[in-house]
Structure 1
Amino acid sequence: MEVLTVNYLDCWDVSANDFPTGCDKLEQIKFLLRYAILAPSNHNTQPWLFEVRGGEVAIIADRTRTLPVSDPDDRELFISCGAALFFLETAARAFGFDVSIRRFPQQHDPDLVAVVEIGKRSTKRSGRPELFEAITSRRTNRSKFSDNQLSPASESAIEAATSANGVRATWINSRNDRVTLAHLIGLADRAQFEDRAFRKELSSWVNPDRASEPDGLPAKSIGFDSPWNYVAPLLIRTFDLGPGKSRIDEALIQSSAAIMVLSTGFDKPIDWVRTGDALAAALLTAESQGVNASYLNQVCEVEDTRFRLAKIGTVQGYPQLVLRLGYGIPVAPTPRRPLDSVIRIRADAA
Structure 2
Amino acid sequence: MAESRPPPRPHRGATLNRQSSRFALPVRDADGDWLDMQEEVDGAAPPLRTTVTVETPRTIISRNQSPDVGFDRSVNPYRGCEHGCIYCFARPTHAFHDLSPGLDFESRLFAKPDAPALLRAELAKKGYVCRPIAFGTNTDPYQPIETEWRITRACLEVLVEFGHPFTITTKSDRVVRDLDLIAPHAVRGLAAVCMSITTLDPRIAMTLEPRAPAPRRRLAAVRRLVEAGVPCWVSIAPVVPQITDTELEAIVGAAAEAGAGGVFFLPVRLPHEVAPLFRAWLDTHFPDRAAKVMATIQSLRGGRDNDPDFFSRMRGQGPWGDLLRTRFAIACRRHGLEHRRMALRTDLFRPPAGPQGELF
Structure having the higher strand fraction is 1
Structure having the higher helix fraction is 1
> Which structure is larger by alpha-carbon Rg, 1 or 2?
2
Where relative contact order (Cα < 8 A, 6+ residues apart) is larger, the structure is 1
Q: What TM-score do you get using the length of structure 1 for normalisation?
A: 0.25
